[in-house]
Amino acid sequence: MTVPTLLQIRTDAALDKEENGLPRVELAPDFREFRDAGSVAEMVRRTQEVLADPTFPTARAWRDGGGKAVGCFPVYTPQELVHALGLLPVALQGGGENLEISRADASLGSFLCSISKSTLEMALTGLLDPFDAFVFPYICDVSRNLDGIFSRILPDRPSHMLHLPQNFASESTVRFLVAEYRSLLKKLEKVAGRSLRAADLAASLALFGEQRLLAGQLAALKRERPWDVSLVESYLLLRLGGLLPREVHVPLLRRALDELRGRNQKAKDAVRVVLVGPFCEQPTLELLQLIEDVGCYVVGEELQMLHRWYPRVEPGGDPLESLAAAYVRAPVDIGVRSTPTTKAAAILARVREGDAQGVIFLTAKFCEPALEDVVLYRRALEAKGIPYLHLEFEEKSTTYEQARLQLETFVESILFD
Ligand code: SF4
201-241 pLDDT, tens digit per residue, is 999 999 999 999 999 999 999 999 999 999 999 999 999 99
Handedness of CA 35, 38, 42, 44 (dihedral sign): positive
369-405 per-position pLDDT tens digit? 999 999 989 999 999 999 999 999 999 877 899 999 9
From ligand 1's centre to the CA of 28, what distance in Å?
33
pLDDT for the residue 340 = 54
Handedness of CA 169, 349, 304, 401 (dihedral sign): positive
67-105 per-position pLDDT tens digit? 999 999 999 999 999 999 999 999 999 998 888 898 898
From ligand 1's centre to the CA of 286, what distance in Å?
21
Q: Is 115 in the pocket of ligand 1 (CB under 6 A)?
A: yes
State which H helix or E strand residue 220 sits in.
Answer: helix 198-224
pLDDT for the residue 7 = 39
- 302, pLDDT greater than 70: yes
From ligand 1's centre to the CA of 14, what distance in Å?
32
pLDDT for the residue 20 = 60
pLDDT for the residue 133 = 98
256-299 per-position pLDDT tens digit? 999 999 999 999 999 999 999 999 999 999 999 999 999 999 99
User: Closest by alpha carbon to 74, among 283, 275, 281, 329?
Assistant: 281
pLDDT for the residue 356 = 98
pLDDT for the residue 18 = 55
From ligand 1's centre to the CA of 40, what distance in Å?
31
Q: Whose CA is nearest to atom 3 of ligand 1?
A: 367
Q: Rounded CA gap, 218 and 231, in Å?
A: 11
- 6, pLDDT greater than 80: no
pLDDT, averaged across the chain: 91
Helix (H, G, I), strand (E, B) or coil at 255: helix
Q: Report residue 1's pLDDT band, with 50, 70 and 90 as the boundaries.
A: very low
pLDDT for the residue 226 = 98
Average of per-residue pLDDT across 360-364: 97
Average of per-residue pLDDT across 117-145: 96
Q: Is 112 in the pocket of ligand 1 (CB under 6 A)?
A: no
With a pLDDT cut of 90, the percent of the chain lying above it is 79
User: Closest by alpha carbon to 370, among 301, 277, 274?
Assistant: 277
The DSSP secondary-structure symbol of 138 reads -
CA angle at 234 for the pair 223 and 220, rounded to the nearest 5°? 25
Q: Residue 95, Cα to own-chain centre: how many angstroms?
A: 13
Average of per-residue pLDDT across 127-133: 97
Print burial letters for 46-62: b (CB count within 10 Å at least 16), e (below 16).
bbbbbbbbbbbbbbbbb
Q: Is 387 exposed, middle or buried (0-12, 13-18, 19+ CB in 10 A)?
A: middle
Domain ranges of the chain: 5-201
- 8, pLDDT greater than 60: no
Q: Is 281 in the pocket of ligand 1 (CB under 6 A)?
A: yes
Q: Rounded CA gap, 403 and 409, in Å?
A: 10
**Residue 323: C-alpha distances to residues 164, 180, 315, 319, 333 (Å):** 13, 12, 10, 6, 18
Query: Which class in CATH covers the domain with range 5-201?
Result: alpha beta
**Residue 51: C-alpha distances to residues 47, 143, 196, 242 (Å):** 6, 22, 31, 11
Ligand 1 atom, smallest distance to 146 CA: 5
